[in-house]
């Protein structure tokens, strides 16, 4: 099963990291107010970065790593590798 780790940019300019097995559906859920509590008050969100993985465990690990990155590091990822496929 393909899974994704992703970063969305909220309307207030903040960044949110997550994981999903259906990227399009998850971004739509965020924008419908059915995503993470954090994003509900910061709509709309825009997908800025994702990585594709072969399974959800890998995606969850990457999400954890993304959440630990500084804002500057996340912005660098977005600028240098927006919408990256990691061979999933």
pLDDT of the residue at 60: 98
Task: Please give the backbone phi and psi of residue 71, each rounded to the nearest 5 degrees, phi first.
Answer: -55, -45
Residue 3 lies in a domain: no
Looking at the 3D structure of the chain, how many domains does it have?
1
Cis-peptide into 44, omega within 30 deg: yes
Cα–Cα dist 6/23, whole Å: 8
Task: Give the residue numbers spanning the domain of 45.
Answer: 32-54+69-88
Per the document, the length of the chain is 88
pLDDT of the residue at 17: 97
71 or 80, which is more confident: 71
Single pTM value for the model: 0.90
pLDDT per residue as tens digits for the range 31-78:
999 989 999 999 999 999 999 999 999 999 999 999 999 999 999 999
Residue 12 lies in a domain: no
């Amino acid at each position: 099963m393909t899974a994704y780790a992703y970063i969305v940019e909220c309307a207030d300019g903040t960044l949110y990291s997550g994981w999903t097995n259906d990227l399009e559906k998850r971004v739509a859920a965020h924008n419908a107010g059915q995503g993470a509590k954090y994003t509900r008050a910061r709509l709309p969100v825009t997908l800025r970065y994702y990585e594709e993985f072969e399974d959800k465990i890998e995606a969850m690990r990457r999400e954890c790593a993304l959440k630990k990155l500084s804002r500057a590091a996340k912005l660098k990822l977005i600028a240098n590798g927006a919408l990256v496929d990691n061979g999933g």
